[in-house]
């Protein structure tokens, strides 16, 4: 039998994301980033803070809020976050709402570091809802089902961002089957911010990347793992028994880093009427 694939080489990306989110007003991101030991992992231009730096930060800030936007449109109190990295959305929701049961999961090493973070941030005393931080490899169906069984009866909302581009087609199908099974049994929905479409050659040529980042992208076949188009993504989910119900709407008003981006906007873009290309969407899916 084939040994299960080791996904831990993906985990450094969570640190890079936290350090970027540390420049935004995403709840607890600044405090958590300050606790993160060691240097940035992909040699990104954190010192230069140029246009491309703020574009990236803005993209990840927007992706974070897009999940919150759709979460607010469900009234479910059982929430499971997959591959949450160092995101503290669960803690934020549990501080604000006593009815929430949030299970926040990632691979074991990330969870161990995050547990220390939560302790150092002294969040536990402020929690009104129930927050659990647990290891979960999303490819492990038995472990997934065990985690779901911790919730009290009722529908479950599953959320994730920054995972599907690390899974090949077969792995994506396996995860979709697991999620489909859960949603069929329990009711609820899946909010995923991972509907990324492949970039055009021109877009790839424009985007500056450090050597470390390019190597990481190649190692994990990130471009290949993206969808060919939004229609192809919808057809893929449809084949897995999951139907698109809603898409999050881009909301520039909520972006805390927009003023920084505008300050460094190149002249030609300042005067351009063209909208920047859409590279990602956040979808709410239900089991058919
Ligand atoms: C790009 S980070 C995203 C982190 C977080 N969701 C965010 O947006 O800030 C990818 C995360 O996926 C996790 N991951 C990768 N493969 C996984 C798997 N098979 N099961 C669970 N988590 C996984 C990594 O440990 C890492 O934390």
Region for residue 3 given its phi and psi (left: phi exceeds 0; alpha: psi -120 to 50; beta: otherwise): beta
- pLDDT band at residue 274 under the 50/70/90 scheme: confident
User: Is residue 21 in a domain?
Assistant: yes
State the CATH number of the domain containing residue 60. Answer: 3.40.50.150
| pLDDT digit string, tens, across residues 210-237 | 888 889 899 999 999 999 999 999 999 9
CB atoms within 10 A of CB 219: 10
Range of the domain at 101: 17-287
Choice from 162, 171, 280 to test ligand 1 binding pocket (greatest atom count within 8 A of CB): 162
Residue 147 domain flag:
yes
Has residue 3 been placed in a domain? Answer: no
Answer yes or no: is 4 within a domain: no
Hey, which residues does 197 pair with through a beta bridge?
A: 227
- pLDDT score of 43: 60
Residue 268 falls within a domain, yes or no?
A: yes
Exposed, middle or buried, 118 (CB in 10 Å: 0-12/13-18/19+)? Answer: buried
Kindly give the distance from the C-alpha atom of residue 105 to the centroid of ligand 1, in angstroms, as a whole number.
9
Atom 22 of ligand 1 has which residue's CA nearest to it? 83
In angstroms, the CA 34 to CA 130 distance is: 25
Q: CB of 7 closer than 6 A to ligand 1?
A: yes
DSSP one-letter code for 193 = E
**Region class of 117: left (phi > 0), else alpha (psi between -120 and 50), else beta:** alpha
Residue 1: inside a domain? no
**Is residue 147 scored above 70 in pLDDT?**
yes
Distance from the alpha carbon of residue 163 to the mean position of ligand 1, in angstroms: 5
For residue 8, tell me if it sits in a domain: no
Residue 5 domain-assigned (yes or no): no
Tell me which H or E stretch contains 119.
helix 108-120
17 lines ligand 1 (CB under 6 A): yes
Domains held by the chain: number: 1
């Amino acid at each position: 039998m084939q040994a299960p694939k080791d996904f831990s080489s993906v985990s450094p990306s969570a640190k890079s994301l936290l350090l970027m989110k540390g420049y935004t007003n995403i709840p607890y991101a600044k405090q958590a980033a300050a606790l993160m030991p060691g240097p940035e992992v992909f040699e990104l231009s954190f010192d230069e803070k140029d246009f491309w730096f703020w574009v990236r930060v803005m993209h990840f800030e927007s992706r974070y809020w897009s999940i919150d936007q759709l979460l607010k449109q469900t009234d479910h109190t059982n929430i499971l976050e997959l591959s949450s990295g160092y995101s503290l959305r669960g803690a934020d929701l549990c501080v604000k709402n006593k009815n929430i049961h949030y299970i926040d999961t990632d691979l074991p090493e990330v969870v161990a570091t995050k547990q220390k973070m939560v302790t150092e941030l002294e969040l536990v005393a402020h929690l009104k809802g129930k927050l659990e931080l647990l290891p979960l490899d999303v490819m492990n169906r038995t472990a997934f089902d065990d985690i779901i069984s911790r919730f009290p009866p009722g529908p479950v909302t599953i959320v994730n961002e920054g995972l599907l581009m690390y899974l090949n087609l077969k792995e994506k199908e396996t995860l979709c089957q697991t999620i489909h099974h859960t949603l069929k049994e329990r009711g609820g929905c899946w909010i995923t911010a991972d509907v990324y479409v492949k970039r055009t050659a021109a877009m790839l040529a424009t985007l500056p990347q450090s050597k470390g980042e390019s190597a990481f992208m190649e190692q994990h076949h990130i471009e290949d793992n993206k969808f060919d188009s939004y229609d192809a993504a919808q057809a893929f989910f449809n084949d897995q028994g999951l139907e698109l119900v809603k898409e999050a709407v881009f909301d520039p008003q909520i972006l805390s880093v927009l003023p920084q981006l505008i300050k460094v906007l190149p002249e030609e873009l300042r005067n351009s009427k063209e909208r920047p290309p859409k590279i990602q969407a956040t979808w709410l899916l239900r089991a058919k």
